[in-house]
C-alpha cells in the first residue's frame, strides 16, 4: 500500500520534471529582452522597470499526467454522474473527464479549469471531435481563482498538498449534496464517504468519494497550516 502510494507520488513528481512544467516565465518579456537600439544613453529615456516586466504566468501546481480511460469511467460512475449534472474537472488536462461526463454519462454541462493554455486548446479540439463542443467548456484559469459554485459533481487528479489547500475552497463554494471524486489522493482528516480501488492498465488506482455535508465541521473550513496559502 505504502509502496504503491510512493510510486504514484514519484510518477507525478517525475512527470513535473519532464512534461510541461517548466516555469513559463521564460516566455515573458523582461527589461533585458528589449530589442537593441542604436540610440545613445543620453537620448534614451529609461522606462520604469515595473512597466517593462509583466507579471509572469503562474506555473502549474501539478504536472500533467492523464487519467487512463478505464479509470475516468470508474470516477464518473463513483460520482454517480447522471442527466442534468453540472460537472467540473479542476486541472482538466486534455479534457477527457469532462468530455466523458457529457458524452457518455449525460451531464448537462461540463467545465474544465486548466492553467496550461496548450492543454486548454487540445481539450477544446477533443470536445469538438467528440461532438460535445457546445456542452463541454474549457477555461484557462488557475483553479484557486475559479468559481465552481454551480457544480453538482467535481473531479480532481491533483496532489495531496493541493487537495488540502483546495479543501476550504471546495467546502465554501459547493452546495450540500455535491459529489467530489479524487483520483489517488485523499483529503487527510476529511474522511471519504466511499473508497474504491480500480485496476488500470499499469497499476491500481484508488478513488475517493465525498458528498458535501449540510453542516460542514468548522475545522475543515480552515486553511491547513503549513500549506502555502
Ligand X SMILES: C[S@@+](CC[C@H](N)C(=O)[O-])C[C@H]1O[C@@H](n2cnc3c(N)ncnc32)[C@H](O)[C@@H]1O
Nearer CB in complex with ligand X: 125/142: 142
Distance CA 60, CA 159 (A): 12
88 binds ligand X (CB under 6 A): no
State the minimum distance, in angstroms, from the CB of residue 139 to ligand X: 9
Distances (CA, A) of 58 to 48, 145, 156, 164: 23, 12, 19, 19
* Max Cα–Cα distance, the chain, nearest Å: 71
In angstroms, the CA 134 to CA 208 distance is 29
Q: Which of 97, 120, 174, 181 binds ligand X (CB under 6 A)?
A: 97
Q: State in angstroms the smallest separation of the CB of 80 from ligand X.
A: 18
Nearer Cβ to ligand X, position 140 or 216? 140
The Cα 165–Cα 173 span in angstroms is 14
Here the cell at position 129 is 471531435
Return the closest-CA partner of residue 223 out of 156, 182, 160, 166: 166
Q: How far is the CB of 144 from ligand X (least distance, A)?
A: 6
- Can you list the alpha helix ranges (DSSP code H) found in the chain? 2-18, 49-52, 69-79, 96-103, 117-129, 160-173, 218-221
Q: Which of 8, 16, 62, 107 binds ligand X (CB under 6 A)?
A: 62
Q: Is 224 in the site for ligand X (CB under 6 A)?
A: no
Q: Identify the residue among 86, 113, 164, 198 touching ligand X (CB under 6 A).
A: 113
> In the bound complex, what is the minimum distance in angstroms from residue 36's beta carbon to ligand X?
35
Question: Closer CB to ligand X, residue 85 or residue 114?
Answer: 114
Name which position in 73, 125, 142, 196 contacts ligand X (CB under 6 A). Answer: 142
**Contact in structure between 91 and 114 (CB atoms under 8 Å):** yes
Answer for which of 105, 138, 157, 190 binds ligand X (CB under 6 A) is: 157
Q: Which of residues 24-53 bind ligand X (CB under 6 A)?
A: none
Q: Does 67 help bind ligand X (rule: CB under 6 A)? A: yes
CA distance 159 to 198: 18
Binding site for ligand X (CB under 6 A): 60-62, 64-67, 89, 91-93, 96-97, 113-116, 119, 142-144, 157
Amino acid at each position: 500500500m505504502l509502496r504503491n502510494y510512493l510510486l504514484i507520488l514519484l510518477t507525478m513528481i517525475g512527470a513535473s520534471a519532464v512534461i510541461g512544467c517548466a516555469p513559463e516565465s521564460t516566455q515573458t518579456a523582461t527589461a533585458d529582452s528589449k530589442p537593441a537600439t542604436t540610440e545613445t544613453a543620453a537620448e534614451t529615456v529609461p522606462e520604469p522597470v515595473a512597466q517593462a516586466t509583466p507579471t509572469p504566468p503562474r506555473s502549474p501546481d501539478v504536472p500533467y499526467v492523464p487519467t487512463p480511460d478505464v479509470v475516468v469511467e470508474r470516477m464518473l460512475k463513483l460520482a454517480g454522474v447522471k442527466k442534468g449534472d453540472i460537472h467540473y474537472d479542476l486541472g482538466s488536462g486534455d479534457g477527457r473527464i469532462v468530455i466523458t461526463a457529457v458524452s457518455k454519462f449525460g451531464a448537462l454541462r461540463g467545465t474544465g479549469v486548466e492553467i496550461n493554455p496548450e492543454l486548454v486548446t487540445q481539450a477544446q479540439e477533443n470536445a469538438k471531435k467528440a461532438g460535445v463542443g457546445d456542452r463541454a467548456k474549457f477555461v484557462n484559469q488557475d483553479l484557486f481563482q475559479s468559481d465552481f459554485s454551480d457544480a453538482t459533481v467535481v473531479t480532481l487528479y491533483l496532489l495531496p498538498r493541493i487537495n488540502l489547500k483546495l479543501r476550504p475552497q471546495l467546502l465554501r463554494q459547493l452546495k450540500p449534496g455535491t459529489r467530489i471524486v479524487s483520483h489517488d489522493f485523499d483529503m487527510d482528516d476529511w474522511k471519504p464517504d466511499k473508497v474504491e480501488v480500480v485496476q488500470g492498465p499499469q497499476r491500481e488506482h484508488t478513488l475517493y468519494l465525498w458528498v458535501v455535508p449540510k453542516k460542514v465541521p468548522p475545522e475543515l473550513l480552515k486553511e491547513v497550516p503549513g500549506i502555502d496559502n
